[in-house]
Each structure stands twice: as structure tokens, then as C-alpha cells.
Structure 1
Amino acid sequence: MNQEQRQAIYQQAKDWVLEAGKTIRFKINDPLTISTKSNPNDLVTTMDRDTEYFFTSNIKQTYPDHAIVSEEGYGDELESLDGTVWIIDPIDGTMNFVHQKRNFAISVGVYQDGIGEIGLIYDVMADVLFSAKRGEGAFKNESPLPQLSENKSFYESILGLNHFWLCDNRLVDEKVMQSLVKTVRGTRTYGSAALEFAGVAEGIIDGYMTMDLAPWDIAAGIVIVNETGGKTTNAFGEPINMLQQNSVMTCNPVIYEQLIEEYTKKGRK
């Protein structure tokens, strides 16, 4: 994908994201049909499905040769990321959407032959768009995001840390993870992986770790974090597979090695 193609697709994707966000804000107080998927806390609403359909129908009409990976079933069944692939989460943070009516995001990543080219994370209710094009930097609305600080102490770090690290001792040693919580300055849980990635890119948190995310949760965020100098792997230092569920660690590279070696690798069962 050359720069001209990337810019054209970026502008179209941005227009769709902002339009979808406007619709969600307009309908935010409408009655919702809410159902569950994998467990009683895995929620999906009519708004999730309607928003995903908006994206997939427009993509298929505008770019019929592009493929789609998406959460609610309107995408394609893919065995590779060859060609141009849109990876979409129509509402990341559905529980926040249902219970809080804020702290959720639209997440759209565009990949070319497995390489992240475009990332868009839209904090809908705050009307804040995080965006990036590969090699061209990352932005919060129209303001460029600086490169992540190199003057960062591990002990002064704030981490986004999914609480399952601390309560599922089938996969991790909870004592190691409890030690991590006591060692860093603080931890936060926001309930939206996309917004946690945006927080890392912006530098308001220094890292985000979680045990089990789908490609649509992280595709846009990886592109945006990359453009601010951050690093993303699975939680044990291995490459992310964008066609399956992954544990995830994204962070300021200054704290990466210590997180990997002293905590997540030691904490793995």
C-alpha cells in the first residue's frame, strides 16, 4: 500500500468512524436489546450489530476486493491476512456502553499483507479520535502524539492490568502478579482494550496487559502505539497472531524487558 492509497483509505475510514459515532451518540438513550455470547458478562447489543453492519456494508460496496475481520459476524472467514483486511470492533467496551454510556470506542484497523497500515480508535462520547498511518505518526484529534518518554522508571509506571491476571491461577502465578501490582506506582482497569491502547500511545498509562483478546480488540491500537514508539507482543514476548485470540502486552519500550522477564514469564503456568 503506497502513501496515496493509504491516505485515501484512511480518509474514508475516518469519515465512516465519525459518522458511526454520531449515530451512536444520537441513539445512546434509545432502548436496547441486550444479549450474551460466550458467558453472562460477554454482552452484545443491537447497537454493536447495527454499527458493524454499517461498516461492513460500506466496505464491501466501496472496496469489494478487501476482506473484513469483525466481532459480530458480518465479516469474512479468513485463513491469512493476505491483501487488504479491515479489522473492526464496532463497540469496544460494550459493558461500559450498556452500564455507563461512556468509556467505549469504535476500533478500526486496516492491514495490508499482515502489516498494520491504519489505526483509528474513536472515544465516541468524548468525541476524541486517536489515529495513525504507518510511518506518519499518531494523532489525538488533530494534535500529533509525541514519542513515548525514555525517562521512565519501571517503579513509577502506571499499568492497565486486567483483573483476571490476579484471579485465574490456572494460567498465572497470582503471587508474581500481586508482586507486580505492589512494585509499580499504580494499576488501572478501564474496560475497553482500545482505549487502554490509546492511553499507552498518549503516555497517560505506561503499559497494558491482558490475558485474552481478539484481533478486533487490538488491531487499531497496535498501529497507533507503534507510531509513538511503543511495543506490542503477547504477554510472554511472542509475536501477536492477528487471526486468533492472544494474551497482550503493549507498553513503553523502556519498561518492556523488565515486565516480560521479571513478571509475565515468571508468572506463566
Structure 2
Amino acid sequence: MKNFDRYTVFEQAKQWVYEAGEIIRASIDKKLTVDTKSNPNDLVTEMDKKIEKYFADEIRSTYPTHRILAEEGYGDELKGLEGIVWIIDPIDGTMNFVHQKRNFAISVAIYQEGIGEIGLIYDVMANVLYHAIRGEGAFKDAVRLQPLTQDLKLSESILLINSIWCAENSKVNEKKIQELTSLVRGTRAYGSAALEFASVAEGIIDGYLSMQLQPWDFAAGVILVNEVGGVTLHASGRPLNLLGSNPIFTGNQQIKDEIIEKYIELK
């Protein structure tokens, strides 16, 4: 698409992310109205909606031809990723936001014709911004993230594994996941997919598995991980569906094949 200056759009998106973070921090100790969505653990607050509306209003007034894919209802009805699409999670890790008042993030990705061009993941309470422009590297604030190690063994890896793998309605072979967790050096869970992707991009976590992520959970993280030489796939090994839910592996390419081929058995 003509007239898409990635650097100008990136600077504008970054400004909005910082401003949204200020809005959240200013209200962090105020009483929240908390509702549930698909289940009692799927939380949404008035702040999720307020921040998403803030982004939607700013994007539509500044870039009226751009479209929005978002979690809380202020996006567009999309059947494809033609043109320029902003994919937004206003508060990724809402349960952490409600219970801990930390360890949550704003996630913003900008795709052009289905290709990720710009990704921003903002750890709001730590005031740390992970960001990437396609082909320009990934950064933690002003520090460039290094390429992921090329000599990693699975037995020496630390993985993030979402506990939903063990749910009764899970579509994965739980015994295989138990074998994997017993093989690797350790497992973790942070409660924010965006920050989990950022940890993979930073190289402090080697891989991340989750049974069910929506595009707004992973769209920005995919761009960051790509920029440090990592890979993000549907857990079966297929390409991602950027318009729907996916079971996902993201991480170091050195362990990708072994995990997907030996330990992920989808029912």
C-alpha cells in the first residue's frame, strides 16, 4: 500500500502506547469493575475497554483507511488482512492486572497485506517497551536484542508452558507434555502471552507453548521473535491463522522440530 511510512507510523504507535500506559498507571489503585467473558477465569475490566477505545479512536482519526483487529469490541469485522491492519490487546494479562497490578502488557502490532511490519509490547508497570520494525531488529527500550543462540539443546532449555495444556478439554496429549517438562531444565508461566513472547525474543526463555492464543495475544510477539531469528508456528507445525485461535509454539529454532515432532500430539 502506498503512503505507508513505517517509521512515522511506528513513532505514532509508540507515542500512543506510552500515553495508554500513563492512563493505566494513573488508575492502577482505583476500584475496578471486573466482568467475565467465556469463563470465570476470562476477565475483562472497564480499563481494557477504555484503552482499546483510546487506540481505536486515535487510529481512526489519524489513519482512516487502516483497519483494526482487537479483543474488546472496538475493532472491525475482518475476513482478511488486506491493507494495513492494527492488531491490539489493550491489556494482555488481565488476571495479573486485576490480582497483582503488574506483569501485564499493552500489545500493538501493525500488519501490511498480512505481513507483520511493526510490533510493540509495553510492560506497563515496569515502563519497559519491547519493539521491532521488520528487518530492523528487535529492541528492549534502546537496547538491541541479540540473535538467539545457535547451539541450544532441548535438555538445557527453559520453557514457558501455559497450564491450559492440562485442562480436561485440552486437545493435546498430556502425557507427551509431561515427558517434555521432565526433560527440559525448567518451566515457567507468566500469565501474559505478550510478555512471554517478549521473554523469548530477549533470549531469557527458550520456547513458549500455549494451547489457545488469539491474534491479539501473539501478533506483536511474532514480529519480535522473528527479528532475533526465532520462529512462531501453529503447534502442529502449520502456519499461523492470524484471524483465529491457534495452539502455538514460539521460540528458538534449534528446539522447534524436536518439540513439535516428539512432544506435541494434537488429538
Please state which band the TM-score falls in when normalised by the shorter chain. over 0.9
CA contact (8 A) 1:160 1:187 kept: yes
Q: Is the 8 A contact 1:168 1:174 kept in 2?
A: no
- Paired residue for 1:21? 21
Any conservation in 2 of the 1:177–1:263 contact (CA below 8 Å)? yes
- Aligned twin of 1:176: 176
The aligned counterpart of 1:268 is: 266
How far apart in 2 are the matches of 1:2 and 1:147?
A: 31
2:258 maps to amino acid: Q
Cα deviation for residue 2 of structure 1 reads 8.0
Q: Residue in 2 aligned with 1:145? A: 145
- Which whole-Å deviations, capped at 9, do the CAs of 1:47-96 have from their partners, x for residues lacking one? 00000000000000000000000000000000000000000000000000
- C-alpha contact 1:137 1:228 (8 A) present in aligned 2: yes
Letter in 1 for 2:157: S
Kept in 1: contact 2:52–2:70 (CA 8 A): yes
How is 1:58-97 mapped onto 2 (pairs within 5 angstroms)? 58-97=58-97
Q: Distance in 1 between matches of 2:4 and 2:49?
A: 32
Structure 1 pair 183–169 and aligned structure 2 pair: CA distance change class (3 A)? farther
Alpha carbons of 1:158 and 1:106: their partners in 2 closer, same or farther (altered >3 Å)?
same
In the alignment, is the contact (CA less than 8 A) between 2:164 and 2:170 conserved in 1?
Answer: no
Report the AA paired with residue 257 of structure 1: D
Alpha-carbon distance in structure 1 between the residues aligned to 2:181 and 2:142: 35
Equivalent residue number for residue 239 of structure 1:
239
Read off the aligned partner of 1:193 and give its amino acid letter.
A
1:157-202 C-alpha deviation (Å, 9 max, x unpaired) = 0001011212336512211110000000011010000000000000
Aligned AA (1:69): L
Question: Is the CA contact (8 Å cut-off) linking 1:17 and 1:106 kept in structure 2?
Answer: yes
Q: Secondary structure at the match of 2:5?
A: helix
The gaps in structure 1 that reach 5 residues or longer are none
Compute the displacement of 1:112 (Å): 0.1
In 1: Cα distance, 2:161 partner to 2:154 partner: 15
Name the residue aligned to 1:44.
44
- For 1:211, the aligned partner's letter is M
> Which residue number corresponds to residue 166 of structure 1?
166
TM-score by length of 1: 0.97
**RMSD of aligned residue pairs (Cα, Å):** 1.3
Q: Are 2:220 and 1:220 aligned?
A: yes
> In structure 2, what residue type is equivalent to 1:56?
A
Residue identity over aligned pairs, in percent, reads 59
Runs of 4+ aligned structure 1 residues displaced above 2 Å come to 1-4, 166-170
Q: Point out where structure 2 has 5 or more consecutive residues left out of the alignment.
A: none
1:101 corresponding residue in structure 2: 101
In structure 2, what residue type is equivalent to 1:99?
Answer: H
* Distance across 1 between alignment mates of 2:237 and 2:168: 20
- Pair 216,260 (structure 1): closer, same or farther in 2 beyond 3 Å: same
* 1:100-139 aligned within 5 A: 100-139=100-139
TM-superposed CA distance for 1:209, in Å, is: 0.6
Q: Write the distance in 1 (CA, Å) between the matches of 2:54 and 2:170.
A: 39
Q: Counterpart of 2:251?
A: 251
Alpha-carbon offset, residue 208 of structure 1: 0.4
Contact kept? 1:49, 1:72, Cα under 8 Å: yes
**Distance in 2 between the 1:3 and 1:225 partners?**
27
Quote how far apart the aligned CAs of 1:151 are.
2.0
Letter in 2 for 1:95: M
